[in-house]
Structure 1
Amino acid sequence: MRAFSSTELANKTGDVLAAAAQEPVAIQRHGKSRFVVLTTEEFERIQQKKDTRKAVHVTDLSDADAGDLLSALEDSIEND
């Protein structure tokens, strides 16, 4: 994702919008991304996408799910 400072946004609005027409761009303040500028079409696509994730407390996991989670964590530790 391309990034622009908030000063660049103020001084080069056209450049920022041209970049945002191609892909989402980050707007940074003090070197940290604070906002994202994107097209309406991209925003609507993101809003319509169904998020199938859910939060579950570890005590509510089945034995099989807990085993899958541990395996995935171990694999991540070994391969990252």
Structure 2
Amino acid sequence: MKQFTTGDLNIQIGDITDAASREPVMLTRHKKPRFVLMSYEHYERIRAGGDPRRAYHISEMPGEHAALFDEALDQLARGEGYDNEP
């Protein structure tokens, strides 16, 4: 997440809102996180629960995710994966 100060917001409003249209940005005040600026569409997805990203503890991971995870680990163990991707 990109980070700007509230002072930056006064000076670089166009640059910051452009960045916020692509991903949420953090606004800090006195070096502490204070606000998050994001597009309205992103806000609506979060509010509606439409953001499909979710973190699971390994013991709570759905079966289909566990299978994909195991397959990826097996590929890495065989030396396949990241380095072999185009």
Residue 29 of structure 1 aligns with an amino acid whose one-letter code is R
Unmatched 5+ stretches in structure 1 = 51-67, 69-80
Q: CA offsets, 1:29-80, max 9 Å, x none? A: 0111100000010000000118xxxxxxxxxxxxxxxxx8xxxxxxxxxxxx
TM-score, normalised on structure 2?
A: 0.56
- The ranges of structure 1 where at least 4 consecutive aligned residues each deviate by more than 4 angstroms after the TM superposition are none
Residue 3 of structure 1 aligns with an amino acid whose one-letter code is Q
Identity of aligned residues (%): 39
Match of 1:25 in 2: 25
Match of 1:5 in 2: 5
Question: How many residues matched?
Answer: 51
Which structure would you say has the larger RCO, counting Cα contacts within 8 Å and 6 or more residues apart?
Answer: 1
TM-score, normalised on structure 1?
A: 0.60
What is the Cα-based RMSD across aligned positions, in Å?
1.4
Match of 1:42 in 2: 42
Unmatched 5+ stretches in structure 2 = 51-58, 60-86
